[in-house]
Structure 1
Amino acid sequence: MNNPPALTRRLGTFDASLIGLGSMIGAGVFAAFTPAAAAAGSGLLVGLVVAAFVAFCNATSSAQLAAAYPTSGGTYVYGRERLGPWPGFLAGWGFVIGKTASAAAMAMTFAAYAAPPGWERPVAIAAVVLLTAVNYHGVTRTAGLTRILVIAVLGALAIAVAACWGGNGLALDNVLGEGLLAHGWYGILQSAGLLFFAFAGYARIATMGEEVMEPRRTIPRAITIALGITVVVYAVIAATVLSASGPDGVAGNPTPLAAAVESGTLAWASPVVRVGAAVASLGALLALIAGLGRTSLAMAREYDLPHALAAVHPRYKVPHRAELTVAVVICLVIVVADLRGAIGFSSFGVLLYYLVANIAAFTQPDEDRRYPKVLQVLGAAACVALVATLPPLSGGLGVAMFVVGIVYRMVRLRTR
């Protein structure tokens, strides 16, 4: 198709930054610390630093590429343009499958805080349906709701931190536990791979590049702002939950921040935290659905997904068929998946997605270069290292996911 239906540029730096921020904060604060603590204990603090550095390397690559290729699809498009159709397909496939699992994890996190016992999965599915309806009606609706959600989440987190430190006091022994290196470097790297799940939201800005105004200036700036704020928030929350509960307490509780507040003398703030957790998860889920729809649109334009998904709604200017299809698949994953398995599986796909992004950015000419090549080399090496240290089940499922994708594309190429 020579002239595929185009999306409309409506997002400025502020809204783009909020979409990235909303994508990240919900994932990390309320979902990723528990499995990271199980892997590394207090060493999750070191894992957080490693994950933040890898995210920074990947963010600079994404920003550099997005400035040169300001269209929907993110690394799927960059891989095709810089490396060829197969690397682009693998990046897009990893993103769509991995982030579908991530979206299911966010919906289940929301339900863990908001639903009565026994109703978690129906409530998670209802959240997916509701937010898909919001996305369906246009990107400005998405940005407007994200703005409200992010402000509410940051307010709830501020109350939670104040309640923890005001009610519990400083407990440095809990933060350090048995020592930062007690679980070894393998455990630390595994925690970094799991925590990377929490940083991957900045890619949402790049995947929505076709809807950003002045993309060469806006996208790099928005990615940097969103990632910087998120790193600070995560560091504060990590120190807080470790101080309140210790590494074993964090590892054994699926809602560590709420537990940290409830353990102190200001437990009255616990409902605020639970509401904030639910809202944060909704914000992340909203941005995930939007990003998945745009990447699916880009892949469908090139026939790497069914071409019917390339449709753009004539009134709302969104990839409506792609978003509806994504929503159905997310709901199916919710029916069968568990939270920790979804996080590890998502990390596998997204780390390989960024491996392609770093390699693609490394090949860019000098006139498109914004950051030194060493960052792309370090980012690519770190992605490979973190993939290798993910839990074996996550790695096995990830490999199987890519085998299915390769077979699918080979069959498609032969039939065409």
Structure 2
Amino acid sequence: MAREPLTDAPGELRRSLGLADAVTIGLGSMIGAGVFAALAPAARAAGSGLLLGLAVAAVVAYCNATSSARLAARYPASGGTYVYGRERLGEFWGYLAGWCFVVGKTASCAAMALTVGTYAWPQHAHAVAAAAVVALTAVNYRGVQKSALATRVIVSIVLAVLAAVVVAALTSDTAEIARLQFDSGLTATGVLQAAGLLFFAFAGYARIATLGEEVRDPARTIPRAIPLALGITLGVYALVVVAALSVLGPQGLSQAAAPLSDVVHAAGVGWLEPVVRAGAVVAALGSLLALILGVSRTTLAMARDRHLPHALAAIHPRFAVPHRAELAVGLIVAVAAATTDLRAAIGFSSFGVLLYYAIANAAAWTLTPSEGRPIRLIPILGLLGCLTLASTLPIPSMLSGAAVVAVGAAIYAARRQLTTSTAQR
């Protein structure tokens, strides 16, 4: 059997990623984000319902993953739901999906960079965050295979650290006492808000779909990689949440500045704290690496269609990456990381990404059986779930997110008006 060429044509991206690479990039995007950044605010919202919130987030994520996988197999091009929305629902919906993704995931990048700074050097968190963005942008600039290799190493380290935390917590003498506190603080609204915040941690599987032009045999690889990455992540998260609740209880977890560091301290294995902090830094770096990769590919797709400056569509002749898009994204994220607040970034990101996946589910609903349409219930549940979770996020997140979406829609309308006026002259 002839081997698929690594480069399809000049100016195109190189198909160099296999199933293991795609799954690893998805894991690098997801594992770490929720555990080290979103766990405490989610516990504050849900109380003893944190595990229920995780389950709700996982169900919505599964629906989104299934819809995204079927669409990615049908449209194996960079851009993810920007492409799917454009092809299935119309140009505006594709543009809006791309806008929500780029804006929401730029906030995610800033949140991950700030997590690096907070754990590595709290007194200079913003400066460290900006430096991390610059360093990882340079890694991505050198080519997607180098990014996949770095992500594989990072994921291995993080999984080892999380395994140590889980074992330490579940074998601790204090675990049984905290379990008695699980019957307090449970409300439906809190569970849904926690699910919306935890969705921030599950959204990394989109990174696989946005790499459609760089995956070998995408029609087969992407639909397999997305549920595999999601399933592994859900299992890891569930174990970590159970371990944290069993030692700290919902109240203690909600007040923890560095939750997993507090877990090992409360479990009586304080010598693990430096290891956990190092693991947090590595996890956030892994998420940031893959996030920058995904945002730059959606920027590339939008630039190709001139929804963003066309100069950002350039492909580097040697490294076969969208180098101008990567540099632009890196610059914006570095500025955001130096000026924003971590918790605000998480809520804002969740709002934008939930709208992005709402459009993905709507697009998947239009697929025909011959195009690999999922069971009808899946995109319906995904669409309703995304809109519900977005509407239960903290009010500042909803208001700021809605304002940015409105700005994006206004830019689109102004651009269309300008194009129409120019054509009539």
Q: If the length of structure 2 is used for normalisation, what is the TM-score?
A: 0.94
4+ residue runs over 4 A deviation: none
- Matched residues, number: 411
2:364 and 2:373 in contact (8 A); partners too: no
CA distance in 1 between partners of 2:44 and 2:362 (Å): 32
Report matched runs for 1:81-96 at 5 Å: 81-96=87-102
1:136 and 1:323 in contact (8 A); partners too: yes
1:179 aligns with 2:183: yes
1:26 and 1:282 in contact (8 A); partners too: no
- 1:4 offset after TM fit, Å? 8.8
CA distance in 2 between partners of 1:176 and 1:269 (Å): 25
Report matched runs for 1:368-387 at 5 Å: 368-387=371-390
State which of 154, 157, 161 in structure 1 corresponds to 2:159: 154
1:47 aligns with 2:50: no
Counterpart amino acid of residue 184 in structure 1: T
Aligned to 1:79: 85
Q: CA RMSD in A?
A: 1.3
C-alpha distance after superposition, 1:305-341 (max 9, x if no partner): 1111111111101111111111111112112211111
2:192 and 2:389 in contact (8 A); partners too: yes
Counterpart amino acid of residue 145 in structure 2: T
- 1:24 offset after TM fit, Å? 0.2
Aligned to 1:220: 223
1:412 aligns with 2:415: yes
Aligned to 1:12: 18
Deviates more, 1:246-255 or 1:301-310: 246-255
Deviates more, 1:105-114 or 1:53-62: 105-114
CA distance in 1 between partners of 2:278 and 2:405 (Å): 37
Aligned to 1:389: 392
Going from structure 1 to structure 2, the CA distance change for 1:413 and 1:260 (only over 3 Å counts) comes to same
Structure 1 portions without partners, runs of 5+: none
Aligned to 2:150: 145
- 1:178 offset after TM fit, Å? 5.0
Structure 2 portions without partners, runs of 5+: 1-8, 420-425
- 1:378 offset after TM fit, Å? 0.6
CA distance in 2 between partners of 1:194 and 1:176 (Å): 25
- 1:56 offset after TM fit, Å? 0.2
CA distance in 1 between partners of 2:327 and 2:201 (Å): 25
CA distance in 1 between partners of 2:112 and 2:164 (Å): 22
State which of 137, 142, 147 in structure 2 corresponds to 1:132: 137
CA distance in 2 between partners of 1:57 and 1:283 (Å): 25
Aligned to 2:194: 191
Secondary structure, aligned partner of 1:118: helix
Counterpart amino acid of residue 12 in structure 1: G
CA distance in 1 between partners of 2:293 and 2:374 (Å): 28
CA distance in 2 between partners of 1:324 and 1:247 (Å): 41
State which of 294, 298, 311 in structure 2 corresponds to 1:308: 311
Counterpart amino acid of residue 386 in structure 1: L
2:365 and 2:376 in contact (8 A); partners too: yes
1:39 and 1:183 in contact (8 A); partners too: no
Aligned to 2:37: 31
1:166 and 1:266 in contact (8 A); partners too: no
Counterpart amino acid of residue 339 in structure 1: L
- Percent identity over the alignment? 56
C-alpha distance after superposition, 1:235-292 (max 9, x if no partner): 0000111111111111111210111001122211111111111101000000000000
Counterpart amino acid of residue 131 in structure 1: L
C-alpha distance after superposition, 1:103-160 (max 9, x if no partner): 1000111111111x42111101110000000000000000010010000111111112
Secondary structure, aligned partner of 1:119: helix
Aligned to 1:361: 364
1:245 aligns with 2:251: no
CA distance in 2 between partners of 1:176 and 1:140 (Å): 48
1:327 aligns with 2:330: yes
CA distance in 2 between partners of 1:152 and 1:267 (Å): 19
Aligned to 1:110: 116
CA distance in 1 between partners of 2:23 and 2:224 (Å): 8
CA distance in 2 between partners of 1:354 and 1:329 (Å): 23
2:365 and 2:373 in contact (8 A); partners too: no
1:42 and 1:176 in contact (8 A); partners too: no
- 1:176 offset after TM fit, Å? 6.0
